[in-house]
């Protein structure tokens, strides 16, 4: 039997990697709590300091973090909102929320509240947040457009949506797809930090014109 050459093995491996990443992009699903090891690894390119730069949080604001996982960004965001601000975390897995809340308690961070559910149907009133943020979450949601519509709904006029993505994530969302989806939900792209390998994008709900009232 003829053995495969190194080149053939490498080509086969690359093909398998592309096929598996295409499969995951067509089959969105939440990263299970049992595999939280992946979300606890360092997040190069989409660092906490880059998130802070793009989110531009202000003390006293009310912010919603979708899909915090085990809280890689959560405690920092909550601290950036102090004094007076509040961070709501929302995840489809209660175990992720419990894990993050336990970390917040251990670190003495008291301005974090949690709710469990699907991002395509948020339990918050219209225009109730200054900002919504999510990192490596959007591609895990089947029907991303419904979720983008919900983020736009809960943002106040002038509010911002910050999305972080890394290409190594099997559920990666490209900058172009995010821009088109945001526009369809009424959110305009304002800035992007990084490159397609790893980026944070900031989209905004248009502010009200003078004399206009929020819908």
Ligand X SMILES: C[S@@+](CC[C@H](N)C(=O)[O-])C[C@H]1O[C@@H](n2cnc3c(N)ncnc32)[C@H](O)[C@@H]1O
Of 52-60, 87-95, 153-161, 201-209, the window that binds ligand X (rule: CB under 6 A) is: 87-95
Which two tokens mark 59? Answer: 């003390």
Of 48-56, 85-93, 121-129, 174-182, the window that binds ligand X (rule: CB under 6 A) is: 85-93
Other CB atoms within 10 Å distance of the CB of residue 84: 11
**Binding-residue total with ligand X (CB under 6 A):** 19
Distance CA 139, CA 66 (A): 12
The least CB distance from residue 85 to ligand X, in Å, is 19
Please tell me whether residue 139 binds ligand X under the rule CB under 6 A: no
Please tell me whether residue 144 binds ligand X under the rule CB under 6 A: no
Nearest one of 44, 92, 96, 59 to 74, comparing CA atoms: 96
The least CB distance from residue 7 to ligand X, in Å, is 34
Please tell me whether residue 96 binds ligand X under the rule CB under 6 A: yes
Distance CA 119, CA 142 (A): 10
Please tell me whether residue 165 binds ligand X under the rule CB under 6 A: no
Put residue 69 in one of left, alpha, beta given phi > 0 → left and psi -120 to 50 → alpha: left
The least CB distance from residue 160 to ligand X, in Å, is 17
The least CB distance from residue 94 to ligand X, in Å, is 10
CB 160 within 8 A of CB 7: no
Other CB atoms within 10 Å distance of the CB of residue 146: 14
Q: Binding to ligand X (CB under 6 A): which residues in 27-46?
A: 30-31, 39
Which residues partner with 165 through β-bridges? 199
Residues at the interface with ligand X (CB under 6 A):
30-31, 39, 66-69, 72, 91-93, 96, 118-119, 135-137, 140-141
């Amino acid at each position: 039997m003829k053995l495969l050459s190194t080149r053939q093995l490498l080509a086969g491996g690359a093909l398998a990697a592309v096929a598996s990443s295409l499969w995951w992009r067509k089959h969105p699903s939440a990263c299970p709590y049992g595999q939280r090891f992946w979300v606890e690894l360092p997040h190069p390119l989409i660092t906490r300091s880059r998130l802070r730069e793009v989110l531009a949080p202000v003390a006293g604001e009310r912010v919603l973090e979708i899909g915090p996982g085990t809280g890689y960004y959560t405690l920092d965001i909550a601290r950036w909102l102090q004094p007076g601000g509040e961070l709501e975390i929302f995840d489809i897995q209660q175990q992720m929320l419990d894990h993050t809340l336990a970390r917040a308690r251990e670190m003495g961070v008291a301005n974090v509240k949690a709710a469990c559910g699907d991002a395509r149907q948020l339990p918050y009133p219209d225009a109730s947040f200054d900002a919504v943020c999510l990192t490596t979450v959007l591609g895990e949601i089947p029907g991303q457009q419904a979720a983008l519509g919900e983020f736009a709904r809960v943002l106040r006029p002038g509010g911002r949506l910050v999305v972080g993505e890394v290409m190594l994530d099997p559920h990666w969302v490209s900058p172009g797809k995010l821009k088109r989806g945001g526009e369809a939900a009424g959110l305009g792209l304002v800035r992007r930090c990084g490159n397609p390998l790893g980026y944070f994008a900031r989209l905004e709900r248009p502010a009200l014109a003078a004399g206009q009232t929020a819908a």
